[in-house]
Chains A and B, each alone.
Chain A
Amino acid sequence: MMLRAKVSCLPACDLRGHTLFIKDHTGAGAGSVGLTEFDGQTNQTSDLVMKAPVEAGEYTWVAVCPAVVKDDVSYIEARAPISFTVKPHTTSVVVWDIPSAVVVSEQFRIKVGIKCSSECGFANSRFGVYDHEGARVATGTLPGDRWPGTTGLYVAEVELDAPAGEGLYTWSIRAPEAGVGIPHADGSSSFGVRVVSRPEHLVVVEAIDKESQTPLAGARVVMHPYKAVSDERGIAEVRVVKGPYKLFVSQTRYLTFGLPVEVDADMRARAELSLEPVPERN
């Protein structure tokens, strides 16, 4: 935190060179700063950068201007309280690479990223994974280094067990659990876990460029919640449970292909995609 103080006297006097002392809530000296400016009425210090207390809470410190004799005038000591609130650092949590569908009771992995608003080091600190009933189902430990290319995000991967029943569950991550010196407000992030029964049918989707009739590799096939990507032959295989779906096939610069399908057996679908018209500027 940064402090700046003003000192004025009656009658006005130039106190440049005089030093102000800061005492913390225990009365211990926390720092000092010289008066450097005088505008004819008021003296002012330069900026004093100080460390805030490590515990969150309300504090009152004191600025003390010791007694001084200047130009044969003696000025008595003056004090001013400095009241402030120390807030804990905030923690942000991000979760990604959650599989869009997990088979009941199977294991799955997610990535968890945690970051302090003041970019504190979170090396080796811990976080908890909580299920839809609030029970902690796993803990994770952050690595020793920040994620490359970020300014303070620590990233870990955790392995989790899916619930035994089908459904969409909301789980959460809370951090930090332990391992951080300075107080941090809890950060949390929730995420959905879609649990499905074991797929019964295979849907083979062939993605084709409509104009050239050539295969489209890398096309994204989505039959919510199932996803796949087409291979070099333009083929994507999606294993799904029986039921109605909207089959989407999309590819960069192509118009998305959408087709309602009812799956009650293995099936094939052919998706012919047309290039999206380039927006004209005229």
Chain B
Amino acid sequence: MAKKRDTDQKNAKLRGEKAVSRRDFVKSGAAAGAAVFSTSGTALAQVSPVEAIRWDYEVDVVVIGAGCTGLPAAIRARDLGASVIIVEQNFDVGGKMLHSGGQISLGGGDPLQLRDIRGERDAEGFVTAPRQHTVEELTEDTDFLFKDHTDWSVMDAAAQAPYRYNERDLHRAYADNCYATREFLMANYVRMGRISGTHGNGGMSRARRAVTFLMEGPATDIKKGTVSRQDAGIRRVSSSHFAPRFMEDGAKVASPGARVNGAALSRCLEFSAREKGVRFILNCHMDEIIREQQFSGRVVGIRASYSPRFHPQTGARLESLWQNGNIDDRRETIYIRARKAIVIGSGGHANNPQFRSMFYPAWREPAFVSSGWALLGPRGQDASGIIAGMRIGANLAGMHQNLSYGSTFHFPGTLATRDPYTDMLPGHPTFPFRGSTGIVLGTDSFQHLIVVNQVGKRFFNEMLVTVREGGAAFPAGPGKGQPRSGLAHVQGDWRNASADNIRKTYTEPNSIHAALAINEGSKPPDYLSGPIWTIFDRAAVERDKWNINPPFTSPTNGFFFSADTIEELAAKIYKGHEFQRVPLTYLAETVAKWNSYVDRGSDPEFGRGSDAPMYRIEKPPFYAATLYPVWHDSYGGLRINGRAQVVDLQGEPIPGLYAGGEASGGGNQHGLGRALVHGYIAGTNAARESST
């Protein structure tokens, strides 16, 4: 039987990745003569007495995390004359941003909205695509954007209110800094295409999204704005160290030859940061933020530990794509003093089962990981920035806002991989942690299979399992929970939130909750749901033309099995999947029952048959592939004010401490826009702090 492992820390060890165990840090804590506190599973158990610390580095601004908040914060602080060190727990720069689609919704009359209104092209002349929106759809000011982001009335198609609970001071500042942030990006090599709609809770009333691109060229050259074909990736074949995900065609929003995604954002910011003299300590996990006294005084620095990652097959340490500006410090523990400020840009809590289960106990299931899990490793998104802030008195905000974004937790519909919310292909150094790219299925393809829980029982209409409500953004309309579309949408209108409108527009199937429910295999005290499996046969593979060969599946990663009989399949899953804690006792019975429903042409249990054709699962070999849900990005985190200062439980800023992006709460906007603006604001204010 495969070893059943319960935490990613143990997991990481077994996979050759360094994880800090409780024993490890208790040991190091004792060595440092510091008090040891009990925490569950994260390396934050010490409070370092300031006077006893021997600082290894001293710098104006320390930035935690080289991602979407951290990079702009560092560049901005550097632009304003500060010396900056970024500590990054991963082996490379970029965080989830590197992995992202590169879609950035800003607005409020930002430079790209204005460029499109004027019908202009970009300075380099790359953007040849025509404008996508009318002048009216692009025209707004910061007050209008602020209203959109704090609109009490908007209810999405899952009857959640994504804007109502946003922190007002924070969103006022957000609206006021969108223009400057867009300009800042362009000044740091970031190229963006035409404005096209708005995404992910970026507001209902105007078009605000632009995607980042580079032009395919003979070589990758950030200054010239080009990316080689190799670096941009080959569809369904390879991605690269430069871009962990295949860069899509950007002809529609930029021009023929444009390749789009977050690599075109992340690598450009990274290039600029290195060029401007930001220094990076990679493989370095911040474990503690040190304040003069635990709950009073300024923040003075951080304690961090060495966190290298090793190739699971070769054992070689993973190295960053670019090295200039790196400080290769391999000491177990280092202390870095921040003369002016510390910026927490460590991302969210999506990969910390204990933390995320504050919102949803079912998510204490350690099998399920965050998006970007392979790229960032088990300790990316471990909530360490938030916990470090909490331990020195920070307040939290917007914790419930995890519920108001459709893809916070959902089934991405990618089978046979633990890391389903990415299309990373072989070519990136972290691909071996995924082991397989997965079989990517659209919703309709679920007609060819059944989905079962850890004991082998179906729990929902498979045609609805991956359906989710998708973000409340322009152009609004019933599909997004709103009575009116486009410019007809009215901010703050009571009809938007009326029971009548909710009845008409509610589309959330709630299938994910059925998947995570307690089942016959759930054991106290956590009653975990266990893994979810798709079951299908050879005929399904042939009918819908699925490629089930490597790298789409892996014969060894325990996420895909085949067998001549269903009984054998059940036995193989139990033996070979690390989170399958109980036998799939009911699987054979479930398949037999399903086949009888197919013969009848209807499914009395979950109502299939009227929405799509049904097929027997009968022809060997039979297959099982995981269908793992993902916690994509997280909402709720440190409370920050409009200056991106972390605020304590008395409502006072903690002197010298800034945060943004997914480490912060009170902003229900998805992803990049939020993090970039926070980073920009944080960097600006951090650099302007007086030195201590």
Q: Using a CB–CB distance below 8 Å, which chain A residues touch chain B?
A: 90, 92, 94-98, 111, 113, 115, 117, 147, 149-153, 168, 170, 189-192, 194, 220, 222, 224-225, 246, 248, 250, 252-256, 258, 276-282
Judge whether B620 and A96 touch: CB under 8 Å.
Answer: yes
Q: Which 5 A-B pairs have the closest CB atoms?
A: A192-B599, A282-B101, A224-B601, A92-B565, A96-B618
- Measured CB to CB, the nearest residue on chain A to B602 is A224
CA distance A177 to B581 in the complex (A): 36
Judged by a CB distance under 8 angstroms, whether B267 is at the interface is no
Q: Which residues of A contact B610 (CB under 8 A)?
A: 246
Judge whether B613 and A282 touch: CB under 8 Å.
Answer: no
- The contact of A96 among B440, B445, B598, B616, by CB within 8 Å, is B616
Q: Which residues of A contact B545 (CB under 8 A)?
A: 252
For B266-285 the 0/1 string (1 means CB < 8 A from A) is: 00000000000000000000
CA distance A253 to B600 in the complex (A): 27
- Measured CB to CB, the nearest residue on chain A to B262 is A282
Q: Which residues of A contact B70 (CB under 8 A)?
A: none
Q: Which residues of A contact B103 (CB under 8 A)?
A: 282
Judge whether B564 and A94 touch: CB under 8 Å.
Answer: yes
19 contacts between A and B (CB under 8 A): A92-B565, A92-B568, A94-B618, A95-B618, A96-B620, A113-B564, A153-B565, A153-B620, A191-B599, A192-B596, A192-B599, A224-B614, A248-B613, A256-B447, A256-B612, A278-B442, A279-B412, A279-B440, A282-B101
List CB contacts (< 8 Å) of B645-692 with chain A.
670-671
CA distance A7 to B319 in the complex (A): 56
Judged by a CB distance under 8 angstroms, whether B381 is at the interface is no
Q: Give the residue among B421, B445, B596, B613 with the most A Cβ atoms within 10 A.
A: B613
Q: Which residues of A contact B352 (CB under 8 A)?
A: none
Judge whether B612 and A258 touch: CB under 8 Å.
Answer: yes
Contacts known (A98-B616, A258-B612); A282 close to B671, Cβ less than 8 A: yes
CA distance A53 to B564 in the complex (A): 27
Judge whether B564 and A153 touch: CB under 8 Å.
Answer: yes
Judged by a CB distance under 8 angstroms, whether B567 is at the interface is yes
Q: Which residues of A contact B598 (CB under 8 A)?
A: 192
- The contact of B567 among A92, A170, A253, A280, by CB within 8 Å, is A92
Q: Which residues of B contact A150 (CB under 8 A)?
A: 564, 620-621
Judge whether B620 and A276 touch: CB under 8 Å.
Answer: no
Closest beta carbon of chain A to B186's beta carbon, Å: 21
Q: Using a CB–CB distance below 8 Å, which chain B residues touch chain A?
A: 100-101, 103, 199-200, 245, 412-413, 421-423, 440, 442-445, 447, 537, 539, 543-545, 564-568, 592, 595-596, 598-601, 609-614, 616, 618-621, 670-671
- Measured CB to CB, the nearest residue on chain A to B102 is A282
Judge whether A281 and B101 touch: CB under 8 Å.
Answer: yes
CA distance A97 to B618 in the complex (A): 8
Q: Which residues of A contact B601 (CB under 8 A)?
A: 224-225
Closest beta carbon of chain A to B123's beta carbon, Å: 26
CA distance A101 to B595 in the complex (A): 14
- The contact of B564 among A151, A220, A258, A276, by CB within 8 Å, is A151
- Measured CB to CB, the nearest residue on chain A to B245 is A281
Closest beta carbon of chain A to B546's beta carbon, Å: 9
Contacts known (A190-B592, A192-B599, A256-B613); A276 close to B619, Cβ less than 8 A: no
Judge whether A222 and B567 touch: CB under 8 Å.
Answer: no
Contacts known (A94-B618, A248-B613); A280 close to B101, Cβ less than 8 A: yes
CA distance A277 to B537 in the complex (A): 25
Q: Which residues of B contact A98 (CB under 8 A)?
A: 616, 618
Closest beta carbon of chain B to A247's beta carbon, Å: 10
- Measured CB to CB, the nearest residue on chain A to B612 is A256
CA distance A281 to B596 in the complex (A): 37
Q: Which residues of A contact B564 (CB under 8 A)?
A: 92, 94, 113, 115, 147, 150-153
CA distance A280 to B406 in the complex (A): 13
Q: Which residues of A contact B670 (CB under 8 A)?
A: 282
Judge whether A250 and B613 touch: CB under 8 Å.
Answer: yes
Q: Which residues of A contact B620 (CB under 8 A)?
A: 94, 96, 113, 147, 150, 153
CA distance A33 to B567 in the complex (A): 36
Q: Which residues of A contact B443 (CB under 8 A)?
A: 276
Closest beta carbon of chain B to A160's beta carbon, Å: 16
Closest beta carbon of chain B to A145's beta carbon, Å: 14
Judge whether B423 and A281 touch: CB under 8 Å.
Answer: yes
Closest beta carbon of chain A to B512's beta carbon, Å: 15
- Measured CB to CB, the nearest residue on chain B to A254 is B444
Q: Which residues of B contact A113 (CB under 8 A)?
A: 564-565, 620
Judge whether A168 and B600 touch: CB under 8 Å.
Answer: yes
- Measured CB to CB, the nearest residue on chain B to A170 is B596
CA distance A5 to B602 in the complex (A): 57
- Measured CB to CB, the nearest residue on chain A to B412 is A279
Closest beta carbon of chain B to A7's beta carbon, Å: 30
Judge whether A281 and B618 touch: CB under 8 Å.
Answer: no
Q: Which residues of B contact A92 (CB under 8 A)?
A: 564-568
CA distance A192 to B600 in the complex (A): 9
Q: Which residues of B contact A282 (CB under 8 A)?
A: 100-101, 103, 199-200, 670-671
CA distance A48 to B592 in the complex (A): 40
- The contact of B599 among A153, A168, A220, A246, by CB within 8 Å, is A168
- Measured CB to CB, the nearest residue on chain B to A191 is B595
Contacts known (A96-B620, A153-B564, A282-B103); A276 close to B613, Cβ less than 8 A: no
Q: Which residues of B contact A194 (CB under 8 A)?
A: 599
Closest beta carbon of chain A to B170's beta carbon, Å: 23
Q: Which residues of A contact B568 (CB under 8 A)?
A: 92, 115, 117
CA distance A279 to B522 in the complex (A): 31
CA distance A97 to B537 in the complex (A): 12
- Measured CB to CB, the nearest residue on chain A to B470 is A280
Q: Please give 5 more A-B residue pairs, beta carbons under 8 A apart, in addition to A117-B567, A256-B612.
A: A96-B539, A224-B601, A250-B612, A256-B611, A278-B442
CA distance A253 to B413 in the complex (A): 14
Q: Which residues of B contact A170 (CB under 8 A)?
A: 596
- The contact of B565 among A94, A191, A250, A254, by CB within 8 Å, is A94
- Measured CB to CB, the nearest residue on chain A to B598 is A192
Q: Which residues of A contact B612 (CB under 8 A)?
A: 248, 250, 256, 258
Q: Which residues of B contact A117 (CB under 8 A)?
A: 567-568
CA distance A252 to B447 in the complex (A): 11
Judge whether B618 and A224 touch: CB under 8 Å.
Answer: no
